[in-house]
Amino acid sequence: MRAFPCFFAVLLLVAGCGAGSSSGAEPKSAADATNADESEAAPSSGGGDEASEAAEASSKPAGPSCDDGTCSQCGSGICPAGWYCDEKASGGAACSWLAECAEKATCGCVTRVLGSACKCREEGGGLKVACD
């Protein structure tokens, strides 16, 4: 008889753990969560303000600009500083990192580690590598 209250308590705890959003549409990042909160909180005025807000939103980049040297563009993504962009990765451009070049990622280091079949160039504050 004592097992029933314990079982019931565990059942309530487990059910409470999944009591978040049932839609499955959770924000992917803090920025998405902030944007979702702002869009829910902003009342619809029905005026011309929406058109000007849409124009402003489309002119802003969708992520960090990498102007401060902490990252670089890689295909449709962004590589952190010290990583290189593998332009010929299967599935499209992807960020890669070499432990041998961790102190300072340069084309000289990347080419030395990957071999002469790889061509490296510096572009937009980052390294772009294409291996044949």
**Pairing state of beta strands 84-86 and 126-131?**
parallel
pLDDT at 91: 93
pLDDT at 54: 56
- For 33-72, write each residue's pLDDT tens digit: 555 555 555 555 555 566 555 555 555 556 678 888 899 9
Candidates 60, 77, 78; CA nearest to 68 is 78
pLDDT band (50, 70, 90) for residue 22: very low
pLDDT at 117: 95
* 3 state DSSP class of 71: strand
Distance from C-alpha of 102 to C-alpha of 64, rounded to nearest angstrom: 23
pLDDT at 124: 87
- For 75-119, write each residue's pLDDT tens digit: 999 999 999 999 999 999 999 999 999 888 999 999 999 999 999
Residue carrying structure tokens 């061509």: 119
> Which residues partner with 122 through β-bridges?
127
Sequence ranges of the domains in the chain: 71-131
pLDDT at 119: 97
For 103, residues 6+ apart whose C-beta sits below 8 A from its C-beta are none
> Which residues partner with 130 through β-bridges?
119
Candidates 109, 132, 129, 131; CA nearest to 120 is 129
